[in-house]
Amino acid sequence: MPLTEPRHVILVAPADFVSDCVGYGVARLPDDRPLPPMQEGDRLVFYTPRTSARSGDRLEAFTAIGRVTAHASPPPVAYIAEASPAPIRPLLSRLDLTRLLGDQWEEALKEGSITVNAADFAVIARAMGAADSLAS
Q: Strand pairing partners for 113?
A: 11
**Residue-wise over 40-59: b if at least 16 C-beta within 10 A, else e?**
ebbbbbbbbbbbeeeeeeeb
Would you state the pLDDT for residue 136? 59
pTM: 0.93
Would you state the pLDDT for residue 94? 93
Q: Does residue 135 lie in a domain region?
A: no
Would you state the pLDDT for residue 3? 56
Q: Does residue 1 lie in a domain region?
A: no
Would you state the pLDDT for residue 122? 96
CA distance 18 to 24: 10
Angle at 29 between CA 26 and CA 30, to 5 degrees: 125
The number of domains in the chain is 1
- Segments forming the whole domain that contains residue 45: 8-129
- Mean pLDDT of each 10-residue bin along the chain, 136 residues long: 80 97 97 92 97 89 98 95 96 90 83 94 97 80
DSSP characters over 60-86: EEEEEEEEE-SS-SSPBEEE-TT---E
Would you state the pLDDT for residue 91? 94
Residue 23, domain CATH = 3.10.590.10
Q: Does residue 35 lie in a domain region?
A: yes
